Chains A and B, each alone.
Chain A
Amino acid sequence: MLAEKVEQMMEWSSRRSVIRMNGDKFRRFVKAPPRNYSVIVMFTALQPQRQCSVCRQANEEYQVLANSWRYSSAFSNKLFFTVVDYDEGADVFQQLNMNSAPTFMHFPAKGKPKRADTFDLQRIGFASEQLAKWIADRTDVQIRVFRPPNYSGTIALALLVSLVGGLLYLRRNNLEFIYNKTGWAMAALCVVFAMTSGQMWNHIRGPPYAHKNPQNGQVSYIHGSSQAQFVAESHIILLLSILSHKTSFCTSLFICLVGLGLVVFFFSFLLSIFRSKYHGYPYSFLIK
């Protein structure tokens, strides 16, 4: 009986690293004894109408982990990876009193799953490495996560280099545009503006674009504290810096004065935004 079950599970897992289960299969192979293998189950809701983007991301990480297990040298019939979708096994969800997805659970070979057998997704996240660490904790099976090499970066770089090379070759008789100082100056200024408006912070921390206050529905583009910023905020600063620069390069007297006025206005605006973040800053220019 047990040998049959194990053989069936091995056959399924040889076809697909993650075994899809419905209610019946789940009850037969994961809950019912006899069992001498551990099962990791991902409870998820991947149908498009469920609109669970986290489930999709967690599913990708889970697939990477299951594939790493299947093709590793330590692969045995002691650990299996399965998935139960809400639309295929709603009764399982009800039976286990589960109302959030995705959830990762470990069903040990012997005994009932304890509290630590549910993966703490809220705190740790769903990266494959963290899942592997949790599995090693619960089952003493070490899985080395192997991510398939991502060639998109290399391909993009190769494409760029060939594009630039082609451009240079086509214009080889007229290489004057490299010597155009304005172009280089513009490029340098772009880099400087990007950095000083906090784009690296955005890139590394990934903040939301703006914050919608749930109480009064007001959208605020500026973060309240001085430690964080929104993407929108950094774009505003970027715009202000560029505009205040363009206005200082003027060609006639009248435009010069207008430019000056604009510089003053933008600087006051910048100061007022700064004041709103650093409560206690006592100086302002024209705008309070």
Chain B
Amino acid sequence: ASVSGFLSLLSFTILFLAWLAGFSSRLFAVIRFESIIHEFDPWFNYRSTHHLSTNGFYEFLNWFDERAWYPLGRIVGGTVYPGLMVTAGLIHYILNLLHVTVHIRDVCVFLAPVFSGLTAVSTFLLTRELWNQGAGLLAACFIAIVPGYISRSVAGSFDNEGIAIFALQFTYYLWVKSVKTGSVFWTIGCCLSYFYMVSAWGGYVFIINLIPLHVFVLLLMQRFSRRLYIAYSTFYIVGLVLSMQIPFVGFQPIRTSEHMAAAGVFALLQAYAFLQYLKDRLTRQEFQTLFFLGVSLAAGVVFLTLTKPSLPPLLRYAKIHIPIIASVSEHQPTTWVSFFFDLHILVCTFPAGLWFCIKNINDERVFVALYAISAVYFAGVMVRLMLTLTPVVCMLSAIAFSSVFEHYLGDDMKRENPIKQHPFYPVKNSSVYSKLIVTMLMLMLLMMFAVHCTWVTSNAYSSPSVVLASYNHDGSRNILDDFREAYYWLRQNTDEHARVMSWWDYGYQIAGMANRTTLVDNNTWNNSHIALVGKAMSSNESAAYEIMKSLDVDYVLIIFGGVIGYSGDDINKFLWMVRIAEGEHPKDIRESDYFTPQGEFRVDKAGSPTLLNCLMYKMSYYRFGEMQLDFRTPPGFDRTRNAEIGNKDIRLKHLEEAFTSEHWLVRIYRVKKQENRQALDHKLRNIAAKQKYTSKKVLPSRFH
């Protein structure tokens, strides 16, 4: 039997198993609850995909959504990355063509797990190019189950990252292949993959900066070659033209500073190649190499000073000055616990892989080293970017493990030059015992890794967050389905063109599940509009009514967690509403008004009167003062804030309660129309007693 046949069968089986493992480990939420779309953003993606599958591609591309951001509307076609919707829509279309009638929702829910398998395959291909087949298989297995990637690609999380990581890895694989071979075929493949990445995720900026950086560092290292020149020149031009086909990207690649590095390196490469061409034609001294080096460095410094500072310092500036960006918890820096939680032993072993890569350097290993360093810096600054670190950590750890296994499990007789291949490992043959111990240890570490990943996936990353579940002490499960109950009430009991005002977190869910027009949603593109809503929530009822009248609001929806102790409710988010409103209307709303004189935020009797009379407070605690949750606490005891509310006798003048869900989690109020007759302020008129005046005129004689 041929060895290579057996080898490819083994690789195929392992990759298939990795795909299966990745797919199954993402299904916890579907098995525990049901196949629904999770969180907030995926609901918008689902709604767009639904629109695409019912109305066609061109309708989707030119879609103007007047049911969002009332009365402004939103140009969806131009403000969204269409890759995700088009992928799901295409799969749905093909399946239905083959008469496999799948609902679009199921396609959306299971898209991310399927693509995780594809990511494993592309990681295998990439690592095989960088090191060898064994490392590739290990990398595929790692990335199939690593929590850092699972967190954004569980079944039900229908979001851009699910397909973007696949596109990223595949683009990098094709780039490495094109640098290795220098053929235009592979480069055009890379450009097409890059086009797919641009259509899928805003993180394509990472690719368009990493690849030029790679080229630049290769130039600095004197590794210029014709392959590099062909690869990058083709990639830059064709990639640029393709990326500008996406409406959302538009002309950004030739205008914004994030793309200038690519242009700069392109120009530099042309200059370098030209000088190289001249050098071949004419005789020069060795002094020329230093000249090349100096020119490269000078050009690099020049365009670095011309372009604006890189993303993280910009993010920090934005965080201080724009409260909305600061309020998203994913934009915080990363603690070491997050690294360990998401990556377990991989984060400990990947520096070893990095070491091996740098010691045995060649063109493509420069690429992976740069990828690792830049990704680790960005992940250290912002938690959300841990996702871009995960693939490279998997690859480098796989390289490290592969080297260890190869050394200890490889056949000593067959190895010709052990010294040359592994400069760090012992020269003499290790005994069988040490090999056994080391191998056992490595296997144990890998098993612990797998167990940790499964535990993390099951406990931390598998909650749909639309449905809440709590577990009693006997282990039975208590499901709180208030959100869906309220959204379906809205869907069935309100007019089709009714407008719902809520805080921006719930906009996408209301639009997706209740199918009603919303004022603000998670897109947060218009800060002033959000500030208006915030102002309405933080003012007293009459002032808020004026704002609601001007925005044609019919219903107001709030989240209240005081009955069950849910800490993500609107009163806990209230200070952010105030801050955002204060940013736009500093004369009307002042954050200090909502605190007690000692500077505390309290909802009980000692709370500030402005807070106790604002619309959000009244809506949250309406009728709550009569409710006694258990006999140990007084009526009106808020379980989330652990305080008895201060204002129990709440009367609403312009609103009336329309719906409260089972556990009081979602409360919907109807805005009453203005009364027909308004009582005017008036005083009784005082009629001063006048002197009687009798007219002395005499009627003409005719009338006698």
Let me know if B379 is at the binding interface, CB within 8 A.
yes
Let me know if B354 is at the binding interface, CB within 8 A.
yes
Let me know if B426 is at the binding interface, CB within 8 A.
yes
CB pair A188 B354 closer than 8 Å = yes
CB pair A188 B445 closer than 8 Å = no
A residues within 8 A CB of B352? 245, 248
B residues within 8 A CB of A250? 426
Give chain B interface residues in 590-617, CB to chain A under 8 Å.
Answer: 592, 595, 597, 599
Which of B335, B351, B459, B595 is the one whose CB lies under 8 Å from A193?
A: B351
Let me know if A226 is at the binding interface, CB within 8 A.
yes
- Name B334's closest neighbour in chain A (CB-CB): A201
Let me know if B380 is at the binding interface, CB within 8 A.
yes
What's the nearest-Cβ distance from chain A to residue B242, in Å?
Answer: 33
CB pair A283 B448 closer than 8 Å = yes
Let me know if B434 is at the binding interface, CB within 8 A.
yes
CA distance A203 to B313 in the complex (A): 13
The answer to whether A256 and B381 touch (CB under 8 A), given A192-B373, A270-B340, is no
The answer to whether A189 and B354 touch (CB under 8 A), given A123-B599, A257-B437, is yes
Let me know if A82 is at the binding interface, CB within 8 A.
no
Let me know if B333 is at the binding interface, CB within 8 A.
yes
B residues within 8 A CB of A199? 380
What's the nearest-Cβ distance from chain B to residue A88, in Å?
Answer: 29
CB pair B351 A189 closer than 8 Å = yes
Let me know if B256 is at the binding interface, CB within 8 A.
no
At the interface with chain B, which of A3-11, A102-110, A178-186? A178-186
At the interface with chain A, which of B341-349, B546-554, B636-644? B341-349
Let me know if A237 is at the binding interface, CB within 8 A.
yes
CB pair A195 B341 closer than 8 Å = no
At the interface with chain A, which of B355-363, B621-629, B649-657? B355-363
CB pair A241 B358 closer than 8 Å = no
The answer to whether A182 and B359 touch (CB under 8 A), given A123-B595, A198-B335, A204-B316, is yes
Beta-carbon contacts of A9-52 to B below 8 Å, as 1s and 0s?
A: 00000000000000000000000000000000000000000000
B residues within 8 A CB of A270? 340, 348
- Name A133's closest neighbour in chain B (CB-CB): B586
CB pair A285 B448 closer than 8 Å = yes
CB pair B355 A189 closer than 8 Å = yes
Let me know if A191 is at the binding interface, CB within 8 A.
yes
What's the nearest-Cβ distance from chain B to residue A127, in Å?
Answer: 10
Beta-carbon contacts of A111-122 to B below 8 Å, as 1s and 0s?
A: 000011000101
CB pair B358 A181 closer than 8 Å = yes
Let me know if B452 is at the binding interface, CB within 8 A.
yes
Which of B350, B373, B426 is the one whose CB lies under 8 Å from A191?
A: B373
- Name B430's closest neighbour in chain A (CB-CB): A253
CB pair A192 B354 closer than 8 Å = yes
Let me know if A128 is at the binding interface, CB within 8 A.
no
The answer to whether A200 and B434 touch (CB under 8 A), given A229-B336, A264-B441, is no
Let me know if B424 is at the binding interface, CB within 8 A.
yes
Let me know if B455 is at the binding interface, CB within 8 A.
yes
A residues within 8 A CB of B563? none
Beta-carbon contacts of B349-390 to A below 8 Å, as 1s and 0s?
A: 011101100110100000001001100110111000000000
Let me know if B438 is at the binding interface, CB within 8 A.
yes
Which of A122, A244, A257, A274 is the one whose CB lies under 8 Å from B599?
A: A122
Give chain B interface residues in 438-480, CB to chain A under 8 Å.
Answer: 438, 441, 445, 448, 451-452, 455, 459
CA distance A70 to B550 in the complex (A): 44
CB pair B358 A256 closer than 8 Å = no
What's the nearest-Cβ distance from chain B to residue A211, in Å?
Answer: 15
The answer to whether A181 and B361 touch (CB under 8 A), given A192-B372, A241-B351, is yes
CB pair B452 A188 closer than 8 Å = no
- Name A189's closest neighbour in chain B (CB-CB): B351
Which of A193, A252, A260, A277 is the one whose CB lies under 8 Å from B337?
A: A277
CA distance A250 to B333 in the complex (A): 35
Beta-carbon contacts of A62-103 to B below 8 Å, as 1s and 0s?
A: 000000000000000000000000000000000000000000
Which of B333, B373, B592 is the one whose CB lies under 8 Å from A120?
A: B592
CB pair B336 A234 closer than 8 Å = yes
CB pair B351 A245 closer than 8 Å = yes
Let me know if A267 is at the binding interface, CB within 8 A.
yes
The answer to whether A253 and B431 touch (CB under 8 A), given A189-B351, A196-B347, A283-B455, is yes
What's the nearest-Cβ distance from chain B to residue A251, in Å?
Answer: 6
The answer to whether A196 and B377 touch (CB under 8 A), given A181-B359, A189-B355, is no
A residues within 8 A CB of B359? 181-182, 185
CA distance A254 to B627 in the complex (A): 72
CB pair A201 B373 closer than 8 Å = no
Q: Which residues of A contact B (CB under 8 A)?
A: 115-116, 120, 122-123, 181-182, 184-185, 188-189, 191-201, 203-205, 226-229, 233-234, 237, 241, 244-245, 248-253, 256-257, 260, 263-264, 267, 270, 274, 277-278, 280-283, 285
List 13 interface pairs A-B (beta carbons < 8 Å), by A numbering. Answer: A116-B592, A123-B599, A192-B350, A196-B336, A198-B334, A198-B337, A198-B339, A200-B380, A201-B333, A234-B336, A245-B352, A256-B426, A267-B348
Ranked 3 nearest A-B pairs via Cβ: A195-B380, A198-B336, A200-B380
In the complex, besides A188-B354, A226-B335, A285-B448, 9 extra interface pairs with C-beta distance below 8 angstroms are A122-B599, A201-B336, A204-B381, A249-B424, A253-B426, A267-B345, A267-B348, A280-B459, A283-B455
